[in-house]
Structure 1
Amino acid sequence: MSSLPPLLGDGHGRYRVQILGNSEILGLPYISMDKLKWNPGWVKNSREEFEAKLRHAFAQDPRGWVVDGNYARRGENFVGEATTDIIWLDPPLYVYFHRIAWRTLLRLLRLSPPCSPGCEESFTEVFFSKESILWWCLSNHWIVRQRNKERMKLIGLECGSDVSNRRMRRFGGWGSDVKAWLSDVAAMVSAKKSD
């Protein structure tokens, strides 16, 4: 177990967590950035609309929230500034690509709900479009990784140069670090309940 707490929070029992790439344990609302970004038919909200929807969602529970998504150019600065903890899930491409492909296939076959209501996957979009999530993962993996490495240099929990804003953690590898961290979060929540 690390000497650092599994989550920082704001010091008053409120947690605003961004997972880049588990609200149940904390008992906090989960916010999907995909559902706030996309309108039916894959119509994007404007940056202003997206940020307004995020602000509204964040204000719904004073105890905090858990948000997922990685929209670096569509409101992430706002999200990053609003969080107490940023969790960067950074498994190797070959570990997560098959998961994305499987999830996309299930959505394509309508065996799993779409990322946002009214945004159904189509065979053409999945396999023959530059807008495909599969293509995006392959073509942006190294770009996103480099961008987050730069963020770690600034706000990484143990290594960031901006000491007063350190709040980002990275979990790479096959998942054992994430499992250990989730166990630490569950233990933290259990300890707070017994206080």
Structure 2
Amino acid sequence: MVEVFNINQIRQKFQQLSDIDFRSELYKISVSFIPEMIKRISKGIDKDKGKFKPYSEKPIYVSSRRPGLKSIRPLGKTGRRKFKSGKPLVCRYFPRGYRQFREYMGRRVNADRLIFTGKMLNSIYSTVYGTNSVKITFSRSEEAKKASGQHERYNFWGLTFDGRKKILGKLYKKLTQRMEELFGKQA
């Protein structure tokens, strides 16, 4: 004889599945992915597992008035520190671009990508968004703005395909555990 469930019992058990707080589970999972994202980004790997482009070598001027850059000594394209009028320069010229600027500031150019002060990556956090969503974002708007510009160049922001698979796998595991609680473990 084969045991068959009463359709009403099955319906009740499936309704009990709705007590799983997927939003809470997704939040916990997303928090666990932040260190993984930061590690990938700092290794110079984009969300599609490609390598970041090298830092720009297009000439730039960097202002010494930018916050955190007081150590920059102004120097013009011609090697002068003052304009012809006698007024002091407030920028420094870097003929080899951002790459040279990073070297000048004592930062590495072949590792620790997208890290200058560390503020942008350190402001990444996970939050519940709306009634059915969780998002990984930035705690400070200036860091979100910075990340937006960097994403255009480096395509770093977002989960990899493998990351998405892991999230779905963890949610599936939670659902399976709850189904086993309700229906019993099937052989």
- Tell me the TM-score normalized by structure 1: 0.22
Higher Cα Rg, which structure: 2
Task: Give me the TM-score of the superposition, normalised by structure 2.
Answer: 0.22
**More helix per residue: 1 or 2?**
1
